Structure 1
Amino acid sequence: MRSVQDALYNWLSIKVVCDARPEDTAARETLDLFDEIIKDEQHLTNIEVTTDEVMYYVSFIHEGETKKTRFPRDLIEVMLNQINQEPDKYCNFPVEE
């Protein structure tokens, strides 16, 4: 991931899906991957997300400095909306043990 902004966008997009679909193993695995990216590659800590009707707000610490960014809800929720519109295309497959 080249930029903090890109990493946070990808992380937040899949986090929204994972929060809405806690049984979705693919979403959980993808969120785990992006968790690693934002923590290990981008070195972000203390990530907090808030939202209102229009935006998602993300605050975090990067290299010892508190920073904030924001993303439009419609941009972040594209994947979740697509899944909700066509759920048969996004079935959850159980994990084989």
Structure 2
Amino acid sequence: MKSLQDALYNWLTIKIVTDERPSDTAASETEKMFEAMLIDEHRLSNIEIEKDEIMYYVHFDQNGERKKSRFPRELIEVMLNQINLEPEKYVNYPED
């Protein structure tokens, strides 16, 4: 994924799901994939999340510099909200 902003958005969206549903294996695997992209492709470290009533803020180090991106909560939480509205569509299938 070329864009750091896209990679952060995708990672944060699925991270919110895995935080709420820690036993969701598909979400967990997807989060690990996006986190690896952030670390390996974009060279991020010390990634931290904070939120307020309107935004999520992702703080990170890149190339020796502390940086921050922000995302509206309504965009980040859309997947989690969809799962919570229709949980029967998002069944967690255990690994064999």
TM-score interval w.r.t. the shorter chain?
over 0.9
Stretches of structure 2 lacking an aligned partner (at least 5 in a row): none
Residue 38 of structure 2 aligns to which amino acid in structure 1? I
Residue number in structure 2 paired with 1:47: 47
Identity within the alignment, %? 62
Which SS does the other structure have where 2:57 is aligned?
A: strand
TM-score normalized by the length of structure 1: 0.96
Cα distance, 1:2 vs. partner?
A: 1.2
Tell me the TM-score normalised to structure 2 length.
Answer: 0.97
Structure 1 residues 1-97: aligned runs within 5 Å: 1-96=1-96
Instruction: Quote the RMSD (CA, aligned, Å).
Output: 0.6
Count how many residue pairs are aligned between Structure 1 and Structure 2: 96
C-alpha deviation, 1:3, in angstroms: 1.2
Runs of 4+ in 1 over 4 A off after TM superposition: none
Q: Distance in 2 between matches of 1:40 and 1:69?
A: 18
